[in-house]
């Protein structure tokens, strides 16, 4: 198929989408502020700072997608008057506002923690009285990898929490969810309404940033159909095309939704080697109007993010069953600059690989040693 897909953003997600597109004879272009971005080696980068950049980008492709949910809606509105965008604008607009997102979950019967809008110090004080402590105070828009939020544990933190987050705009307060672990489900919906889901990933974080994901999530056979039901409700309600991610908390009362991401997701990077068809290829297929591929697992997998500093490539590649993905990004504290996929033969080998990898990574991670796969 000779087709070009335009992607808002040129980071590592756009890079991996373009890598998946090439074997299908699909080219990608990118709309990005920096022309020296991770995706630059894989297609034309049109600067979002250029005077006519947006229209040049629109002219560069047949159909469009995105790699980050904070894509400006003003740009989307200009684009959709001329070309198709997948996923739809509605999904993007909802994902950009946490209050809208929670309202959609409520509407579709997807459980969420109690929440309230906060627009003043007085309303925050009132919300604390209504919901009790602890609560998580978040910016309604923006924020990622633990940014834009404050865990409020005592009443004497109310003024501090307000002072730190109020400058960012509207806020949302959520009851703190007592959970045993965090999981995510990733699904894809084609233009014909076909839906396929990958197995749940169990996600672990380090300083608020995803450090590693285990797939399939251990002891999750009973959670998988529930998560699939929730994400399918979202996909069909939004008439969605492409990959959608739903982050969830596992609690003693079942699964609670945290947030959705209308894009390919860090917790799905494992699928490049670990699934018959990766999240990136299936997203490209959906956007291009092609049949979806199988989401079956090739082998249980662990994906580990490289954060801040690069390990020695030869040390990583010396590990049995390790696949290294570097994003052509410079080192910086807290920055995701690559990932490693481990594909062990059994749980004993997994434990060994994780211990070996923990010694190699410059940024120490608490890699779980009892990952029962």
Binding residues are 98, 138, 143-149, 174-177, 182, 205, 258-259
Other C-beta atoms closer than 10 Å to the C-beta of 12 total 23
Contact between 288 and 63 (Cβ < 8 Å): yes
Distances (CA, A) of 48 to 40, 121, 329: 14, 37, 19
Helix H or strand E segment including 150: strand 149-152
User: Which are the contacts of 64, defined by CB distance < 8 A and separation ≥ 6?
Assistant: 5, 6, 7, 8, 58, 79, 83, 84, 85, 86, 287
Q: What are phi and psi of 194, to 5 degrees?
A: -65, 135
Q: Long-range contact list for 20-25, CB < 8 A, 24+ apart? A: 20/278, 20/280, 20/281, 20/283, 20/284, 21/284, 24/281, 24/284, 24/285, 24/288, 24/290, 25/1
> What is the DSSP pairing of strand 254-261 with strand 242-251?
antiparallel
Q: How far is CA 346 from the centre of its chain?
A: 27
Distances (CA, A) of 22 to 4, 241, 284, 285: 10, 20, 10, 12
Contact between 340 and 324 (Cβ < 8 Å): yes
Conformational region of residue 199, where left means phi above 0, alpha means psi within -120 to 50, and beta covers everything else? beta
Name the DSSP class of 322. Answer: E
Rounded CA gap, 170 and 30, in Å? 31
Place of tokens 């299936």: 282
Rounded CA gap, 275 and 124, in Å? 45
Q: How far is CA 224 from the centre of its chain?
A: 18
Tokens, residue 211: 């450090």
Contact between 187 and 243 (Cβ < 8 Å): yes
Place of tokens 């509207």: 170
- Radius of gyration (C-alpha) of the chain in whole angstroms: 21
Residues annotated within a binding site for ATP: 98, 138, 143-149, 174-177, 182, 205, 258-259
């Amino acid at each position: 198929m000779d087709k070009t897909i335009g992607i808002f953003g040129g980071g590592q997600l756009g890079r991996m989408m373009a890598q998946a597109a090439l074997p299908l004879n699909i080219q990608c272009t990118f709309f990005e502020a920096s022309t020296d971005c991770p995706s630059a080696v894989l297609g034309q980068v049109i600067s979002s700072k250029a005077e006519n950049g947006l229209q040049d980008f629109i002219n560069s492709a047949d159909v469009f997608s995105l790699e980050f949910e904070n894509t400006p809606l003003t740009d989307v509105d200009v684009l959709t008057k001329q070309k198709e965008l997948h996923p739809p604008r509605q999904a993007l607009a909802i994902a950009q506002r946490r209050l809208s997102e929670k309202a959609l979950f409520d509407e579709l019967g997807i459980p969420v923690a109690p929440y309230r809008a906060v627009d003043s110090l007085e309303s925050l004080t009132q919300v604390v009285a209504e919901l009790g402590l602890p609560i998580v105070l978040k910016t309604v828009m923006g924020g990622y990898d633990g940014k834009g939020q404050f865990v409020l544990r005592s009443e004497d933190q109310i003024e501090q929490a307000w002072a730190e987050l109020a400058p960012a705009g509207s806020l949302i307060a959520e009851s703190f969810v007592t959970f045993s672990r965090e999981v995510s489900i990733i699904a894809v919906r084609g233009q014909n309404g076909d839906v396929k889901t990958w197995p749940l990933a169990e996600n672990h974080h380090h300083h608020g940033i995803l450090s590693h994901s285990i797939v399939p999530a251990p002891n999750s056979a009973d959670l998988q159909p529930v998560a699939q039901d929730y994400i399918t409700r979202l996909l069909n309600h939004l008439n969605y095309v492409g990959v959608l991610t739903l982050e969830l908390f596992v609690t003693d009362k079942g699964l609670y939704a945290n947030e959705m991401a209308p894009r390919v997701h860090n917790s799905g990077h494992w699928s490049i080697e670990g699934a018959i068809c990766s999240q990136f290829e299936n997203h490209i297929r959906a956007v291009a109007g092609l049949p979806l591929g199988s989401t079956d697992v090739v082998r249980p997998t662990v994906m580990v993010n490289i954060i801040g500093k690069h390990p020695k490539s030869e040390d990583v590649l010396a590990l049995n069953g390790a696949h290294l993905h570097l994003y052509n990004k410079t080192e910086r504290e807290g920055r995701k600059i690559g990932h490693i996929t481990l594909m062990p033969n059994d749980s004993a080998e997994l434990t060994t690989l994780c211990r070996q990898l923990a010694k190699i990574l410059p940024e120490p991670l608490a890699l779980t040693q009892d990952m029962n796969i």
